[in-house]
Amino acid sequence: CCLLSKLVETMTLTSILIGAAFGMGVQMMSNGLRKIPLMQKPWRHVVATGIGAYAGHWVSDFHQRQMQLYVQMLDEYQNRTGVNYWEASAQRARERAAAKAQEEAKLQ
């Protein structure tokens, strides 16, 4: 519980900082490519940093929502079929590996 919440908080903070750095870098790269002073019109850097920070937060939030949806779908599958998805998947993989080994044994 506590470890997971710390991880989520850290992931969100990290993604916001990375997004902010990316926004600032994009604005500085834009000024550099146009061969104008890198910090010309500093308000644009503030806006780009804010947009980058929001984008980083949105990506982190989107990832968390998708993971929750994925876990919910796996739970629904298990409740509906009575089969654990991961155990069934591992069993199918073992069966495929055994069938492949038998085919190779026949060829030799």
As a whole number of angstroms, the distance between CA 77 and CA 99 comes to 27
Alpha helices in the chain (DSSP H): 2-33, 42-81, 85-107
Q: How confident is the model at residue 15 (pLDDT cuts 50, 70, 90)?
A: confident
Mean pLDDT of 18-40: 91
CA distance 96 to 100: 6
Confidence of residue 3 (pLDDT cuts 50, 70, 90): low
User: Mean of the pLDDT values across residues 27-50?
Assistant: 91
